[in-house]
A and B are shown apart, each in its own frame.
Chain A
Amino acid sequence: MTRQTARQYRMRIWLLMSVYVALIFFVWPYAKTASSLPLRALFALLPTVPVIAVIAVMMRHVMHSDELEQRIHMIALGIAAAIVCGGSLVGGFLAAAHVVPIRGDILLWVFPLVCVSYGVSRWWLARRYGGAGCE
C-alpha cells in the first residue's frame, strides 16, 4: 500500500469515527425518548452505520496490504478475537450463575475492545517484525 493510500485510509477512519461520535452525542439520546418504537429503533441503530462502514474500510485495507502486513493483521485479529471471546465467556458464565450482575448494554463494549486488542496486538507484532505493518 502506498503512503498516499495509507493516509486516505486513516482519513476515512477518522471521518467515519467522527460521524459515529456525533451520532452518539446528538442522535442516540433520542432513542430513549422518541415516541414510536420504529423511530426509537432507528435512532438506536443509526450509530452502527458508520461502524459497519469502518469495518468495510478496514477489510479493504487488509485486502490491499502486502503479504507480511496481511499476516500481521490476521494474527492481531486472532489475538483480539481470543481476548474478547475469552472475556465474554467468563463474563457470560459469571452472569448466568448470578455471581456478578451484567447488563445487556455491556455488548456496546465488544467492538471497542476488539479494536483496542487488535491495535495493541498489531503494534506488538509489527515491532517483532522490525516495524513492518505500522502504516
Chain B
Amino acid sequence: MNNRVRDLREAKGWSQGELGERLDVSRQTVNAIETGRYDPSLPLAFRIARLFRKPIEAIFDPGNE
C-alpha cells in the first residue's frame, strides 16, 4: 500500500519521532509506515488522517492490490 505520510510529515516540519509522539507510536513504526514496510491498522490510519486533517483515502492508496 502506498501512502503520503512522509510528504505530509515533512510539510508540517515534524521529525519521525515527533510524529510518533503525536500518534503514540515509536519512531521506528513511523519509519516502517513511511517506507511501506508496514501497513497500519484501521484505528491508526484514522488517527493519522485526523492528525493531518485529511480523508483517509487522500493519505493511503491501496494501489493495484
The answer to whether A131 touches B31, judged by C-beta atoms less than 8 angstroms apart, is yes
Could you mark each residue 57-85 of chain A with 1 if its beta carbon is under 8 Å from any beta carbon of chain B, else 0?
00000000111110000000000000000
The answer to whether B41 touches A131, judged by C-beta atoms less than 8 angstroms apart, is no
The chain A residue with its CB closest to the CB of B44 is A67
Q: Which residues of B contact A135 (CB under 8 A)?
A: 26, 28
The answer to whether A129 touches B44, judged by C-beta atoms less than 8 angstroms apart, is no
For chain B, which range describes its interface: under 10, 10 to 19, 20 to 34, or 35 or more residues?
A: 10 to 19
| A68 in contact with B38 given A129-B32, A132-B32 (CB within 8 Å) | yes
The answer to whether B28 touches A130, judged by C-beta atoms less than 8 angstroms apart, is yes
Check: A133 CB closer than 8 A to any chain B CB: yes
For chain A, which range describes its interface: under 10, 10 to 19, 20 to 34, or 35 or more residues?
A: 10 to 19
The answer to whether B25 touches A67, judged by C-beta atoms less than 8 angstroms apart, is yes
The answer to whether A133 touches B28, judged by C-beta atoms less than 8 angstroms apart, is yes
Contact of A66 among B24, B31, B35, B37 (CB under 8 A): B24
A interface residues, Cβ below 8 angstroms from B: 1, 65-69, 126, 128-135
B interface residues, Cβ below 8 angstroms from A: 24-26, 28-29, 31-32, 35, 37-38, 40-41, 44
